[in-house]
Amino acid sequence: MDALKIRGNGPLSGIIDISGSKNATLPIMAATILAAGESRLGRVPDLADVRTLQRVLAHLGINIKNEGKTITLDATNITEQEAPYDLVRTMRASILVLGPLLARFGRARVSLPGGCAIGARPIDQHLKGLKKLGAKITLEHGYVEATADKLVGAEIIFDMPTVGGTEHLMIAASLAEGTTVLRNAAREPEIVDLALVLKKMGADIQGEGTERITIVGQKSLKPFVHDVVADRIEFGTFLIAGAMIGENLTLRGGVIEHQTALLDKIKQSGAKVSINEETQEITVSRSDKLEPVNIKTAPYPGFPTDMQAQMMTLLCQAEGTSVITETIFENRFMHVAELGRLGAKIRVDGGKAIVNGGEKLSGTTVMATDLRASASLILAALVADGETIVRRIYHLDRGYEHIEDKLRSVGANIERFKEE
């Protein structure tokens, strides 16, 4: 199993190019099921989750070709409407094939998915929405089975904003008969990117990026050509690296407006941030003294839960006490114990983490517990004295494209190795 060896060794300087978004790529790939013909998707990140979904789609009968950062997906000859457990067990986003299979073929059978172990991440809102569109759904033997003579537009009110649920029902409703209105919809940039693709396919969608999205279903859709939006979580992770240990670390290719909430907190911490609006580049440097900051996670455009672990590592370097309140997932402080092994002083009280910053971190062996937690441990290792080993980095490979290569290119002492 792969691990990372990291030695804290001073500033990061140079340029990092931001990759395409994993969380935009996956639903767009699922949407190719809707239309016969060949779609082309560019700026696709080289990630384990992307490869997993490629295997799922290939099993269904989609012909896939990889050409560097571009993949072509030809959904003309889909022969299967079932995604088995062995293919979907590692990734929650696999459920997104259910709706488009149902919309195009009238039936689908998908194994209940896996993914990060960060609390209850139920798919009940996905299934409730599909039922509203007219699907008959049964859950048995670990599979979701859905059938429908046809999907018919409906008004769907989410109990809470759900990114996956919003994406799933946008995709399915694009081939439904009549108009679908999604209320209390998620507003994330990845949803806007998916809507752009569905519009290229011929869908009639309005309101994406707001809490009310309207989809007028079409009788058929066509393939598309599209480049995926930048990965705002990778972008944010490198912004925090710059705030912790940067010396004119420049990030290129991201979308700055997607970072408003994070940049506000980074600036509050005292880090130096320079934005070039014309080139959309950001340069970040550490200040002599970082200040404590309070954080409360919230759905977009609030502070992202996917940046909470990384921000916690930054606040370990701030002199004073910071409070982080996690409102999205109930089990997202599993990285605290591992940061504690490096010397961080953090106390968890229910949905809050109290960070007593300013303690010197020292290298040791730590274990990644989920995707974003693994990034936080790498950031901590970059400022720790001595050598740190980060184990179980298969989590990392699900969401960060060649992170060790990107960090090494700007001065980090980091290498991947195989543990015996």
User: Distance from CA of residue 326 to its chain's centroid?
Assistant: 17
What is the per-residue pLDDT for 142? 85
For the chain, give every domain's residue range: 2-19+230-418, 22-227
Structure confidence at residue 119 (pLDDT):
45
The H helix count followed by the E strand count for the chain is 13, 24
Between CA 401 and CA 94 the distance in angstroms is 20
For residue 122, what pLDDT is reported? 73
Its sign, for the CA torsion 166, 169, 175, 178, is negative
d(CA 308, CA 413): 24
For 94, residues 6+ apart whose C-beta sits below 8 A from its C-beta are: 52, 53, 56, 83, 87, 88, 110, 111, 113
116 belongs to the catalytic site = yes
* DSSP string for 130-166: HHHTT-EEEEETTEEEEE-S--B--EEE-SS--HHHH
Class (C level, CATH) for 22-227 = alpha beta
Which CATH number is correct for 2-19+230-418, 2.40.10.220, 3.40.50.150, 3.40.50.80, 3.65.10.10?
A: 3.65.10.10
pLDDT of residue 114: 60
The single residue listed with the structure tokens 């300087």 is 13
- Look at residue 398 in the predicted model and tell me its pLDDT: 87
Q: What is the pLDDT of residue 116?
A: 44
Q: What is the pLDDT of residue 257?
A: 95
Same CATH topology for 2-19+230-418 and 22-227: the answer is: yes
For the beta sheet containing 281-285, the strands, ordered from the edge strand earlier in sequence to the opposite edge, are 12-17, 246-252, 281-285, 272-276
Task: Given the residues 34, 60, 83, 116, select the one marked as catalytic.
Answer: 116
* pLDDT value at residue 92: 80
Exposure pattern of 59-83 as b/e (b: 16+ CB <10 Å)?
A: bbebebeeeebebbbbbeebebbbb
Q: Can you list the residues of the chain whose pLDDT is less than 50?
A: 116-120
The structure tokens 């990285």 sit at: 335
